[in-house]
Chains A and B, each alone.
Chain A
Amino acid sequence: MSLFFESLFNGAAIGSVLLIAALGLAVVFGLMGVINLAHGELIMLGAYTTYVVQSLFKLPLLAPLFGAYIFVAVVAAFLVSGLVGLLLERSVIRRLYGRPLETLLATWGVSLILQQFVRTVPLAWSTGLWLAAMVGLAGPPVMNRLWGPRQRPWRLRLGCWVVAVAVGVACAGWIRGAMPKLASASARNVDVTAPRWLRGGLDLGDWTLPIPRLVIIGLTILAVLAVYWFLNRSLWGLRIRAVTQNRAMSDCLGIPTQAVDALTFAVGSGLAGVAGVAVSLLGSVGPNVGGDYIVGCFMVVVLGGVGNLWGAVVASAGIGVLTDVIGAGRLLEIWPRMPAWLQQGVEFFATTSMARVLVFALIVLVLQVRPAGLFPQRGRMAEV
């Protein structure tokens, strides 16, 4: 019984990392049909955001709250990656709808640019740049909402951008002074230290549950529920689904399809940022971290069935449990008296490298039987 639970827990642990990394892609690729190869880099931006937030909480003023920085990081990472995603959609992706090959190449290029960006631009300046973009873009709509529309909108916009640049430069300068580690650019991986309560394990009798894994499982469940709620219970979710099902008709009925596209992409990118926080709890944070996850993300979305949220959940759970059962050699424990020839075979596959090979082979087999994934759904992909 304990074996069953341990395997289930490990499977859930591996699967939840896959799922939270793939969730944003499930939205972007699943609902919009955009093959976003820069998804891994949006995860990376989330991980770097965690690092910046962590450095901020190491300052004397905020040090007492260090244990809680991770919650701030989740929100900040969502906003950072979301905004970058929004800019990416407005500048590149929207010109390429319905052209999957060009999208693929363009987003790959974007992923290289983002990698090189974090290598060459100091984090202090990146943070300042992001703040400036945020103030400059969000300023006019917010002020319009607060005080009603202006007579001369261009003045307001200009004013906002002037303030934005000032805020960005001031902030970057302050960060350079206060956090010298963020002042210079480095291709070296950075050290994200989890707060003390997030580092240990939870002792339950015989075995220990790693707390970071529990937190990631919790975060993943929350993220899935939030996405489900957003898509199925909110006004914008309704619009997104409408556009997914029939763009032309939605347009006729007055749904602002361009705004829907931008929002969908921004939400998907923001989710990648949240995944970045999770990833930073487990492994290293560096310019190449996105590359470690991108293949797994596409694997989950394709196996689950493009456009189906629950498909992604089932697929990641399945891959997680299989990886653990094969890679940790649990078949030998489940069935201790298996024939010798079978036992040799199982032992051969009971290494991490071979488990990966076998899991990929099984996915190929499943896709042979169900080419559109486990839970196929008609969506905007049909238009393309």
Chain B
Amino acid sequence: MCLTLSARRTFGASALAASLLLVSCAGPRPATTDSAGMEFDDTVAVGILHSLSGTMAISETTLSEVEKMAIEEINAAGGVTVDGKTYEITWIEEDGASDWPTFAEKAKKLIDQDQVPVVFGGWTSASRKAMLPVFEARDAFLYYPIQYEGQECSRNIFYTGATPNQQAEPAVEFMFKESPVAGKPFFLIGSDYVFPRTSNTITKAQLESLGGEVVGEDYLPLGNTEVAPIIAKIKKALPDGGAIINTLNGDQNVAFFKQMQAAGLTPENGYYVMSFSIAEVEIDTIGPEYLADHFAAWNFFQAIDTPASQKFTESFQARYGEDRVTNDPMESAYNMVYLWKAGVEKANSFDDNLVREALIGVTFDAPQGPIEVMPNHHISQTVRIGQVTPDGQFDILSTSDGPIDPQAWNQFEPSSKGYACDWSDPGKGEKYRL
């Protein structure tokens, strides 16, 4: 009979004896082996919680894919090392089902039952807000990868997406100062829910301080694709062209861009749209012929011409298909797995609270360029403005001079002006006056 070690955690001082035993059997068999033949002392399971079904599944499954890719890359490079022991990362995946209470329920399950040290998850702000109390009550940790409206700074969340000052503000400034419609009036359009409304409040305050003019604002109810009245309004409000700031969601963009073009509100006629939720994946479904020459602002574009960026896209395509594209939310999800690994190794422990402290100041050479975890649990990131090309990619027009520090509390919004967040100092915390 041959001895196989099924209980991996027993692998300790007896390792030598066990391996001698194993050698004497049919063949050598280490405690855990991944496909690349790596050997590990132990395993650690992390939680992945995205919508794999429902309306958000289209977007969120891509995050789950890159997170698994990052985990397997880390394993192939030797796993996580804590206290001199190497750990293979495995994952326990749950489906948030595009339903916010389900996110909270699954988060509870991952923390209480599976006892994972970390959860990577979420996309919509609603899902994050639903999970927040669960993580705070258990003092557990959520890593959240999406650009969002800010105005939040939880002790128990690491936000690896952009805050408004890392996406919306540079974008609006670009439209006002450098774009072909510089100095022209603005029209704001979005889907009717929290992110567009908050984002536009900030944009309005920003334009006021820049001396820009907002001539109109409208919101399309979710699930409604009749944009004819909005287009009539844009025509009336911007008779000689202008800048349109677009925070529409998913499908509604398709109706909006198709009908903008049909109504003659095109870049040739002086109407330029800056979108905050159109990345490479969306261009593919809307069709580049409707989007060409419009703008988008992100931290990462697939078109970034650096070895790190190309390697990221190449390994994604090698795993999931040559026709797939990468985009900003995916890059952000990829980064957060690596940041967590770096935090664990710096803390030399899987303990949440030690990792939380250690993570601040951790740097990572991300596909977008170097990023750093700041004391407010957000990430310093490089901001880029891209223009859509006819082949469905972006032409990067402007890149910020190095990474920009995140502001969890927006400095244009009166209720949060003058406040900041700092978890490295016990006296400051979530929201303190600068």
Contacts and interface: CB of A to CB of B under 8 A. Distances in A.
A232 interface: no
B251 interface: yes
12 contacts: A187-B57, A189-B251, A191-B287, A194-B258, A200-B261, A203-B264, A212-B258, A282-B225, A282-B259, A284-B254, A328-B233, A352-B192
Nearest to A186: B58
Interface string A183-218: 000011111111000011101000110111100000
A14 B230 CA distance: 12
A44 interface: no
Contacts of B229: 10, 14, 323-324, 327-328, 352, 355
Interface string A264-296: 000000000000000001111010110110000
B289 A193 contact: yes
Interface string B179-209: 0000000000000100000000000000000
A6 interface: yes
B265 to A, nearest CB: 9
A72 B254 CA distance: 23
Contacts of B254: 189, 283-284
User: Which of B220, B227, B229, B258 is packed against the most chain A CB atoms within 10 Å?
Assistant: B229
A356 B221 contact: yes
B92 to A, nearest CB: 23
A199 B261 contact: yes
A98 interface: no
Contact of A208 (B225, B233, B263): B263
A151 B359 CA distance: 83
A374 interface: no
Interface residues of B, number: 38
Interface of A: 6, 10, 13-14, 17, 180, 187-194, 199-201, 203, 207-208, 210-213, 281-284, 286, 288-289, 291-292, 323-324, 327-329, 351-353, 355-356
Contacts of B236: 328
A199 B255 contact: no
A17 B226 contact: yes
B285 interface: yes
Contacts of A191: 284-287
Contacts of B290: 199
B219 interface: yes
B262 interface: yes
Contacts of B226: 14, 17, 323, 352
Contacts of A355: 229
B262 A328 contact: no
A282 B224 CA distance: 12
Contacts of B253: 284
A191 to B, nearest CB: 4
| 7 nearest A-B residue pairs (beta carbon) | A327-B229, A210-B262, A284-B254, A283-B255, A208-B264, A201-B264, A283-B225
A351 B233 CA distance: 10
Contacts of B230: 327-328, 352
Contacts of A199: 258, 261-262, 289-290
Contacts of B286: 191, 284
B225 A292 contact: yes
Contacts of B250: 189, 284
Given A189-B254, A201-B263, A284-B255, A351 B219 contact: yes
A373 B57 CA distance: 40
Nearest to B261: A199
Nearest to A192: B287
Contacts of A190: 285
Contacts of A201: 262-264
B84 interface: no
A187 to B, nearest CB: 6
Given A14-B226, A187-B57, A352 B287 contact: no
Nearest to A14: B228
